[in-house]
Amino acid sequence: MRRRTVPSGFRVAAALAAAFAIFVFASAAPACAQAPASPTASGAPLEENMPRSWFRNYDYGLEIDGKVLPEAGLYQMIGGKPYMLVFGPVLDSAFVWSADPRVVRSVGKDRVTPKGEDELMLAESSFAAAAPIPWMQDGPEAVVFYAGQKRFKILRVPPIVGPTSADEILKNLPAYRKGMDEYRPEAAAVAELKNVRKKVEIEVWFGSWCPHCRAVVPRFLKTLQAVANTNLAVSFNGVPREFGAYAPSTARAVKGLPTFILTQGGKELGRVQGEPASGSLEAELARIVKQGVVAAGN
């Protein structure tokens, strides 16, 4: 996982706008390169009626009336204008946040089509005519708008940093719960891990902001649940985005995320960084444990 630098004095409004700059720039063409799109019967240009992909941006979250809603998320339009879609099953309506102009527009949830785990489809014409709602900056790291009697706040999600637990991870990261529920670990690897007879420590180093961790760690959590072996002593450690400067992870020589470190009696048996080159994570963990036990003559 590539490390990312977060600028000091970060402001959500500016950062949200900057997040789209590369897409707007990449999709822009010189005026002479293409004729204006013909309007459709609805009066909107053709490209505005074409559903576009919006991808979940886990760096940002949503509060309503002071309550964090992890089930709702923000989605970034790809190849279009500087918009962010606020969407979730717990919301009565979806909203599209705009950096320029500084407005929010409501859009019916029935106009949004889920596609895959982190992707939605929505056409610009679905919300272009909606009445604009102004938004405002709220401190250095949030923007606020009002819809009906509710106060919506878009804010940067602080990463989980330091020792944590599986319960806390699942409470704060609903995408992990979804990934865990959907995964089916290999039966043979589960059986081998069930048969571990001596204590093995497994350190899990991950970033709650890290997309690769979001794919891999839930599989480990499901495997752990299926194995249900108290001889596997697991600890979870969240790291900041600049984990290369985070003393606890550098002390354990963590160079990529997620990293699983297996030890027994203070001796490292092996580690898995990211996903194995072949096979499943649980199979690789079982292999490391078995190899370590054989080498130790246990």
Do 112 and 202 share a domain, yes or no?
A: no
Whole-model pTM: value is 0.68
Three-state SS for the chain is: CCCCCCCCCCCHHHHHHHHHHHHHHHHCCCHHHCCCCCECCCCCEHHHHCCEEEEECCCEEEEECCEECCCCEEEEECCCCCEEEEECCCCCCEEEEECCCCEEEEECHHHCEECCCCEEEECHHHCCCCCCEEEEECCCCEEEEEECCEEEEEEECCCCCEEECHHHHHHHCHHHHHHHHHCCCCHHHHHHHHCCCCCEEEEEEECCCCHHHHHHHHHHHHHHHHHCCCCEEEEEEECCCCHHHCHHHHHCCCCCCCEEEEEECCEEEEEEECCCCCCCHHHHHHHHHHHHHHHHCC
Mark which of 100, 132, 156 sits at the end of a domain.
156
Do 77 and 212 share a domain, yes or no?
A: no
Do 131 and 207 share a domain, yes or no?
A: no
Whether residue 3 lies inside any domain: the answer is no
Mark which of 100, 125, 156 sits at the end of a domain.
156
Do 20 and 142 share a domain, yes or no?
A: yes
pLDDT digit string, tens, across residues 55-73: 988 888 999 999 988 889 8
Total of domains in the chain:
2
Whether residue 211 lies inside any domain: the answer is yes
Domain extent for 52: 12-156
pLDDT digit string, tens, across residues 83-133: 999 999 889 999 999 988 899 999 999 999 999 778 999 999 999 899 999
Q: How far apart (Å, rounded) are the C-alpha atoms in residues 166 and 176?
A: 10
Do 79 and 191 share a domain, yes or no?
A: no
The more confidently predicted of residues 34 and 210 is: 210
Q: How far apart (Å, rounded) are the C-alpha atoms in residues 267 and 42?
A: 69
Whether residue 102 lies inside any domain: the answer is yes
Whether residue 254 lies inside any domain: the answer is yes
Mark which of 140, 156, 172 sits at the end of a domain.
156
As a whole number, mean pLDDT of residues 180-206 equals: 96
